[in-house]
Structure 1
């Protein structure tokens, strides 16, 4: 037990250091110019933007128009389609667990937890604050506010929906809203949501689809690990990914008005497409 705990602590530190080092490396080519503001003033400004960014993301549905509602309908339809085959996909993914390397299993479990998530994202922000790098600070603000917004929403949904986890062995159609037992907190997946929120925010910095794909794959592993551990169904994972993307996109738009540094300054939009075929079901996301 002690060896396992030691390994887990080592993994936590390694993940946090790699995440911070990777994020700093993204901006290594940027000149770090010390602005006239003091770090305390920067921190206060950033903290206010974190708080307001969360509020902005929650207010967005009240301003949606036809296209946004169509995208939301696509997400619901896609999640519903995956829900229909949850039992089969859950069994299939769980059967693959033994073939997954132990280091990937540990990574999937540790990185998606709230504690480790905030260690990593706070590290990115503090690095930007210490070096007075606005782009890195902005990334930290985006990461922290997105994780806070999406994380709180998933906690509310988990309780309100009350879906039984696969390990409860009650089937995919069992719901008991506001049951405090964690076995009824399956929908959506918190690990998937937090990990992919980080991945999507970092991936926005790159234009290469190959780099994006690699980052998104790393961000998806924690959510998938929860499926092969019997803690979530595939539809829990799919809906969590949708929340992550929508939250990051929303807060990123808000931060565009607050910082000079912008990511992908062109039109920011996304669309969902459902692909059906003989024996196949796909959900394609364009960004």
Structure 2
């Protein structure tokens, strides 16, 4: 599994220092790695503890995704009219940033910076980034094999499926979008560091680019990306609550200021954020 390989590389990146310093760093490191796996387990176990509003949000997410799926083919045809107008820099960024390799380079770098500078807040951010990427990455890899939705580039329509494969079948692995999930997980987690709503909005916008580009390049349908983006919020929020009990440092030195809800109705559908 790629995810486990990158975690192993992160562990092997730990350098050797003087004995006392090494011992302190090693204790912090092993504690944090334990919290990475603890956070993943916590996120996966949350459905067993959901209450009414949680199930309602899942229902909205499912209903909204199914509704978007009914217009996926039309959206795909419509976006072809302006694909060539998008700068190559944006396209390259969108395709490269959400890949697992680049994602773990970024998240691992954030974590190691916090570890070696003894900055607990930055360590916690790194743990949140790594555990969110791991939880989302494993989930989307399994889902692709179970669902087997055709990619737009396959030439098939959006309602074509080839499900239930142990091995990944390329061009039939569209749902969900790993790039969108990893990129927005990072953006959502990093935005927690800031008070300013405009800074948050800017970070969210950057995090949405990979999903947008994957739609433009026929790797995913619009509903794939929309579902993956909202699911990444579920995952980050869940793991962040778990980490509240593991670290003294809280974001912005107070209780969380971000709240979100799904909205779904005859004329409205979306995610509302308050920060």
TM-score by length of 2: 0.87
1:284 matched to 2:271: yes
**How many residues of Structure 1 are paired with residues of Structure 2 in the alignment?**
250
Residue 262 of structure 1 pairs with residue 255 of structure 2 = no
- Counterpart CA distance in 2 for 1:243 and 1:41 is 32
Compute the displacement of 1:44 (Å).
Answer: 0.6
Matching of residue 66 in structure 1 with residue 56 in structure 2: no
By how many angstroms is 1:209 displaced?
Answer: 2.2
Deviation at 1:67, TM superposition (A): 0.7
* Shift, 1:90, TM fit: 1.5
**Aligned position for 2:262:** 272
- Partner deviation per Cα, 1:74-114 (whole Å, 9 max, x = no partner): 11111111111101112222332211111111100110100
Cα RMSD for the two superposed structures? 1.8
Q: Deviations over 1:115-163 (max 9, x none)?
A: 0000000000000001000000000000000000011001111110000
Q: State the match for 1:27 in structure 2.
A: none
In structure 2, which of residues 202, 205, 208 is the aligned counterpart of residue 217 of structure 1?
A: 205
Matched, 1:54 2:56: no
Note if contact 2:148-2:169 (Cα within 8 Å) is conserved in structure 1. no
Which of 124, 127, 130 is the matching residue for 2:116? 130
Partner SS state of residue 185, structure 1: coil
Q: CA deviation at 1:286?
A: 2.6
Aligned counterpart, 2:9 = none
Deviates more, 1:138-147 or 1:257-266: 257-266
Confirm or deny that 1:172 pairs with 2:162.
no
SS in 2 for 1:95: coil
Q: What residue ranges of structure 1 are gaps of 5+ in the alignment?
A: 1-34
Partner of 1:236: 224
Distance, in Å, in 2 between the alignment partners of 1:226 and 1:131 is 36
What is aligned with 1:87?
A: 73
- The range that moved more, 134-143 or 170-179, is 170-179
On the 8 A contact 1:95/1:228 being kept in 2, the answer is no
Contact map agreement 1:42 1:129 (CA 8 A) in 2: yes
Which residue matches 1:140?
A: 126
Structure 1 116/142 Cα, relative in aligned 2: closer, same or farther at 3 Å? same
8 Å CA contact retained: 1:249, 1:268:
no
Relative to structure 1, is the Cα distance of residues 268 and 98 closer, same or farther in structure 2, using a 3 angstrom cutoff?
Answer: closer
Is 2:185 the counterpart of 1:197? yes
Q: Could you tell me how far apart the structure 1 residues matched to 2:189 and 2:95 are? A: 20
Cα contact 1:94–1:227 (8 A) shared by 2 = no
Which residue of structure 2 lines up, in the alignment, with residue 152 of structure 1?
Answer: 138
